[in-house]
Amino acid sequence: MADDQYLVLARKWRPQAFDNVVGQDHITRTLKNAITSGRIHHAFLFIGSRGIGKTTTARILAKALNCLEADGPTPTPCGVCSNCAAIAAGNAIDVIEIDGASNNSVEDVRELRDNIRMVPTNARYKVYIIDEVHQLSIAAFNALLKTLEEPPPHAIFILATTEAHKIPATIISRCQRYDFRRVPVPQLITLLRKILDKEGLAATDEALHAIARAAEGGVRDSESILDELITYCDGEITFKDVFDVLGLVDWQLMHDICDAILAKDVTRQLVLVEEVVTAGKDLTQFVEELLRYFRNLLVCRTANARVLIHLPEEELDALSKRAEKISLTNLIRLVEQFSELVNNFDSQLAQRIALESMLIRISKVGVEVSLDTIMDKLVALGQGGLGAATDQPTPAASTTAATPPEAPPKPESPPDPPVAGPAKPAPAAPASKAPIQVTPENMIRAWDAIIERSSHDDLNLLTWFKLGKPTGIDGETLRLSFSSANKRALDFVQDRGNQKAMGEALSRHTTNLTSIAITVQEDTSAKEAPSSAGKGSDLPVSPGINAEEAKEALKDPSVATIVDVFKGRIVDIKSVTSGDGES
């Protein structure tokens, strides 16, 4: 491309016929039918976000109405006659393009009304394309309304707007309304690929995906990004080029943040945010990128990533490695939290991802509860609130759901007798964590209280150690019995690191215990399910559910926790993609 002939791609490849408009088939088909059948409305309202083809379609419509190659309006304007050429070049006398933002006074509209009375010079119709029409003043709208009510037969109005809600209903009701859609990523990619082919240039698939995603459904945006890249790149356009040109946050930084979150290293996280801000990156974009990143992790964790995430292989591998380290519950929570954060920035991405994580939650976690609710309940458990807050205590709850000693949530609730010595805090005081003195007499209830407090430290501790039954106290050691049937629980609780963590939790939450000792109880009945306690070998399932499958499902900590906390039942079991182990 010689510099003097340089045209931006959006202009160079602007569609000149209805069939070339990308992603708006529902509109171009209707317009072509209207023209063919001779039912041409005198006022059109084109609604949709910027850069998705409203003005382009308006110009094609103007050509269709005025092409000289046909005897009347035609759905396929020739594109070469003097009218078509003038309209394409933007200098047709009878096609008047008005920017609503700068011609929004009542005088402007009056002038337009005077102008409308004059018959077209070279064309069948005078076409008025008013862009950003929502910017007109109220007085201008009123003047426009008068024109729309009694338009001369030779006048056609095409009003275009990104903000339909700002247009008076009286105007909308006089127009035929067309809603333009954001263009799906695959169609944008096809378009970009076509342009590159015509320009004799190359780009990787991942690069085009990244461009299309960044354009968020906008044809013009995708074309101008491609323009920049063509100027920037010497040879083939790669994924990395797109990141460099768009100023997207470096992927390594995403990985670093993820690792810091996994390590709960707050200092590192804040240092990384500082880096982003210092580098002058846009925080909105950064948060969106983070959301996209964790969404990708969630997809890696739950579905076929290669099909759904369009990233280079090495990036997919890096994602998969991290996805395996995060529990599904945590991942969903992260995605939801970032989604909520992005939501405050009013983004399309957030809506889509909120939808996706909800879908994953209902199909993988198996119960339609918001994670917030689960978290609230778990927090309530940790503060000793749930037992008292539960509407009615179930018989089975007497051993599993403890009513820990302090801080009843409602003053009117009868206070529970304390498990051990420490004085209850004043009712107004926040829930305190006075250590519990554990005795053989109170150890079962105390154990529940300890486990619930530990849930603040680590959800895994709650999930697995909760399955143990205290059987005695030796000095500073609590003996816990686990059923041999639950292999995963045994693996977890027999791990020395986990035992140490539990011992530390005991030191924190009790006055007299510092370690645990595990005994294994041979048991082939269904007692390993945490909420099966209380009534023999009954599993918390609905009739018709296979007991073996239910047991298997209950080994999943998220399922077990939900069933237990919500006193739920398993009503359906679906197997999920292979290779997907929930930790």
Q: Which residue from 81, 434, 545, 573 is in contact with Zn ion, where contact means CB under 5 A?
A: 81
> Would you say 78 or 201 has its CB closer to Zn ion?
78
Query: CB of 64: closest distance to Zn ion in angstroms?
Result: 9
Q: Which stretch binds Zn ion (CB under 5 A): 3-11, 64-72, 167-175, 453-461?
A: 64-72
Q: What is the DSSP letter of 528?
A: G
Does position 78 interact with Zn ion (CB under 5 A)? The reply is: yes
Query: CB of 70: closest distance to Zn ion in angstroms?
Result: 8
Q: Which stretch binds Zn ion (CB under 5 A): 10-18, 32-40, 84-92, 404-412?
A: 84-92
Does position 290 interact with Zn ion (CB under 5 A)? The reply is: no
Q: Which residue from 25, 69, 197, 340 is in contact with Zn ion, where contact means CB under 5 A?
A: 69
Query: CB of 194: closest distance to Zn ion in angstroms?
Result: 24
Query: CB of 32: closest distance to Zn ion in angstroms?
Result: 15
3-state SS, 288-334, equals HHHHHHHHHHHHHHHCCHHHHCCCCHHHHHHHHHHHCCCCHHHHHHH
- Count the residues in the chain: 583
Query: CB of 316: closest distance to Zn ion in angstroms?
Result: 50
SS3 (DSSP) at 561: helix
Q: How many CB atoms lie within 10 A of CB 562?
A: 22
216 contacts: CB under 8 Å, gap ≥ 6: 182, 348, 349
Query: CB of 81: closest distance to Zn ion in angstroms?
Result: 3
Does position 62 interact with Zn ion (CB under 5 A)? The reply is: no
Does position 67 interact with Zn ion (CB under 5 A)? The reply is: yes
Q: Which stretch binds Zn ion (CB under 5 A): 76-84, 184-192, 350-358, 475-483?
A: 76-84
Q: Which residues of 215-249 are buried (b: 16+ CB within 10 A; e: fewer)?
A: bbbbbbbbbbbbbbbbeebeeebbbebbbebeebb
Does position 35 interact with Zn ion (CB under 5 A)? The reply is: no
Q: Which stretch binds Zn ion (CB under 5 A): 77-85, 359-367, 451-459, 482-490?
A: 77-85
The site for Zn ion, by CB under 5 A, has a size of 6
Q: Which stretch binds Zn ion (CB under 5 A): 4-12, 80-88, 122-130, 237-245?
A: 80-88
- Residue 29 half-sphere exposure toward CB, CA atoms < 13 A: 4
Helix H or strand E encompassing 131: strand 126-131
Query: CB of 88: closest distance to Zn ion in angstroms?
Result: 9
Q: Which residue from 34, 84, 191, 261 is in contact with Zn ion, where contact means CB under 5 A?
A: 84
> How many angstroms separate the CA atoms of 230 and 252, rounded?
25
> How many angstroms separate the CA atoms of 249 and 257, rounded?
11
3-state SS, 422-488, equals CCCCCCCCCCCCCCECCCCCCHHHHHHHHHHHHCCCCHHHHHHHCCCEEEEEECCEEEEEEECCCHH
Query: Where on the chain is the footprint of Zn ion (CB under 5 A)?
Result: 67, 69, 77-78, 81, 84
